Amino acid sequence: MTGRDAGRLSLILLMTPFALWIGLLILLPQIGIGYVSLREKVGFNQYEYGFANYAAFFGEPIYRNTLLRTAWISILVTILALIIGFPVAYYIAKVARQRSRAALFLMCLIPLWVSDLVRAYGWIVLLRETGVISTTLVSLGVIAQPVEMLYNDITVVMGLVYTVILFMIVPLVSTLQGMDDALLEAGYNLGGSRFTVFRRIVVPYAMPGIVSGCIITFMLAAGSYLTPILLGGKNSSWFTEQIYNQFITRYNWEAGATFGVLLLGFTSFVVWAGLRLTGQSLATTVAKE
Amino acid sequence: MRTPAHLLWIYRAYVLIFFLYLVAPLVAAGAFAFNDSLFPALPWQGFTLDWFFSPNEPKLGLFHDDRLLRGLGNSVFIGVIVAVLSVIAGTCNAFLFVRKDFPFKSVLYILMVVPLVIPGVILGISILVFASMIANFADRELGLLLTWLRPGIPLVLLGQFSFLTTITSLVIAARLQKFDVSIEEAAFNLGASGLRVLMTITLPFLAPAMFSAFVVAFLVSFENFNTTLMLVGSDAPLTVTMYDRMVKVGSTPVLNAVSVVLMLGSGILALISVLAQRERTSP
């Protein structure tokens, strides 16, 4: 056996698991839901094919609005996560002393290791009518009656920001850590104000981190299930909840698959548009960690 | 330009408030597991371990609650298997993308990363649909009953494997990239066979990354909810069992006890993986 044949053989051997994984678990299943979304049940084991499910989706305001609502809240969550997370990331990367830097970064990662379910449950214990915050405020005399802080949009947004913000901070910290402080000095020496230096030096430098943080954050928010349902209650009208309902509760796989394709198409579009606008690519942003 | 002291203090206060926001729900979820009350709420009734160890109702402890224990068992079972599988596949992918050249490499690399950005719910339903299509086909055309393609542990394994492999591949590939190929060449020159070089030089070099990939995969599998929910059968893992309890029974402190166990478990594992990484950066 020559070296070339051995090389080819090992390439085939290494390619096989990759091809099976991507083909059988990613590509074909995605094609599968695309296929199911195009069919319509007309009788027992009888199907017609066409865009009827999509027409039904766009004809029904409730479904349409749920998708729009999910999209808006996810975008809002992404923006808030960036605004809230950037100062923290900058602090960890640039302001904190060398020793506390690693500790702060690890502290940031702690909630990452805790299940979504536990975090949402923690918020429920804190925020519900008989919860910690309400009870404390009553006993301090700040409010007269216990208040229900769950089941509204502000809580959902706050909970979602909580769930996703780490994925914003981690890429930001790693990009900002690479920035040479001399760049900032130069900016100030040239007479730049704090704001100018931030806008013209820090933000452009951090752009790859900002983009990858925003992509991951947006996808996680749009695809999240537990936080909107547990914190938003039964009327949270979240899109993944609709998918679950169609699939598991109503057993209407055709409609569920249609919703799935729409969610995937929509989120991919937003990510693609974001990459386009900022001139980044998926391989350089998401895979970099 | 130095930052004025009062601005720096405001900045520090902001970061402090942020960290309080990060830990608040975790503390709340954890603390009430030790409150001697039937509800996870104030006032504080005194310290107790009943929610972990009490053998009888109404304060049935976690370690006497058969359904939660079964969920814990299922989670560990699923986590270990899927972590082993995804580390094996991830190692193959790392060698494929770091060592080999082939047509469309960059496109395939993007395909490898894509599972991370597909929402978990969609991964779940797509695998559910595809598996059912195969099972229905086998049933109809071949008369085979492929029950493992119906919701249950095998499908949960496949669903979690589909995105965990991306994580393990990235972790292991990052390590492989740092490998100095001249060491392998030296071994070859000394007459070692390919398999021998792989077993005695390359794989030991990769071992720390494979280990942390295993820990991360296990943790993510253990915590996963979205993908798992779509594929779960009668043998639910702990997160789904806990969710079920939360929706059907409402919150009781035993769920806080579950939270404590989940946090302790993942905390210890995360620590182990950090320590493993520490060792590899300072040899």
The CATH number given to whatever domain includes residue B262 is 1.10.3720.10
Average pLDDT over residues B92-107: 87
Report pLDDT digits (tens) over A223-258. 888 888 888 877 678 888 888 888 888 888 888 899
Q: Is residue B21 part of a domain?
A: no
Is residue B242 less than 8 Å (CB to CB) from chain A? yes
The per-residue pLDDT for A3 is 63
Q: Is residue B199 part of a domain?
A: yes
CB pairs under 8 A between A and B: 231
DSSP B88-139: HHHHHHHHHHHH---TTHHHHHHHHHHHHHS-HHHHHHHHHHHHHHHHHHII
Q: Is residue B108 part of a domain?
A: yes
Q: Are strands A46-49 and A39-43 parallel, antiparallel or unpaired?
A: antiparallel
- Answer yes or no: is pLDDT of A49 > 90: no
Q: Is residue B87 part of a domain?
A: yes
Q: What span, in angstroms and rounded, lies between the C-alpha atoms of A215 and A267? A: 9
Closest partner residue to A253 (CB to CB) among B93, B129, B256 is B129
Q: Is residue B242 part of a domain?
A: yes
Q: Which residues of A touch B28 (CB under 8 A)?
A: 122-123, 125-126, 132
3-state DSSP assignment of residue A190: coil
Number of domains in chain B: 1
Indicate the residue type of B106: S
Nearest Cα to Cα of residue A163 among A216, A236, A127: A216
Nearest Cα to Cα of residue B173 among B120, B100, B275, B278: B100
Q: What span, in angstroms and rounded, lies between the C-alpha atoms of A155 and A151? A: 7
The per-residue pLDDT for B1 is 52
3-state DSSP assignment of residue A42: strand
Closest partner residue to B129 (CB to CB) among A33, A267, A287 is A33
Largest Cα separation within chain A, whole Å, is 85
Indicate the residue type of A183: L
Test A33 with B24 for CB contact under 8 angstroms: no
Please give the structure tokens belonging to residue A247. Answer: 């699939």
In chain A, the domains with their CATH numbers are 62-287 (1.10.3720.10)
The residues with which A41 forms a beta bridge, in sequence order, are: A47
Q: Which residues of A touch B271 (CB under 8 A)?
A: none
DSSP B195-259: HHHIIIIIHHHHHHHHHHHHHHHHHHHHH--HHHHHH--SS--HHHHHHHHHHHT---HHHHHHH
- pTM metric for this prediction: 0.85
Residue for token digits 């965990």?
A: B164
The distance of B229 to chain A (nearest Cα, Å) reads 9
pLDDT cut 70: percent of chain B above it: 96
Closest partner residue to A240 (CB to CB) among B121, B126, B269 is B121
Q: Which residues of B touch A26 (CB under 8 A)?
A: 111, 114-115, 118, 123, 162
Within a 13 Å sphere around the CA of A220, how many CA atoms are in the beta-carbon half? Answer: 27
- Structural domain harbouring B139: 75-281
Q: Is residue B172 part of a domain?
A: yes
Dihedral sign for Cα A208, A211, A215, A221, please: positive
Q: Is residue B62 part of a domain?
A: no
Residues in chain B: 283
Indicate left, alpha or beta for A193 from its phi (over 0: left) and psi (-120 to 50: alpha). Answer: beta
The distance of B167 to chain A (nearest Cα, Å) reads 9
In chain A, DSSP assigns E strands to: 39-43, 46-49
Q: Is residue B42 part of a domain?
A: no
- Answer yes or no: is pLDDT of A289 > 60: no
Q: Which residues of A touch B172 (CB under 8 A)?
A: none
Report pLDDT digits (tens) over B176-217. 888 888 888 888 888 878 788 888 888 888 888 898 889 889
- Answer yes or no: is pLDDT of B2 > 70: no
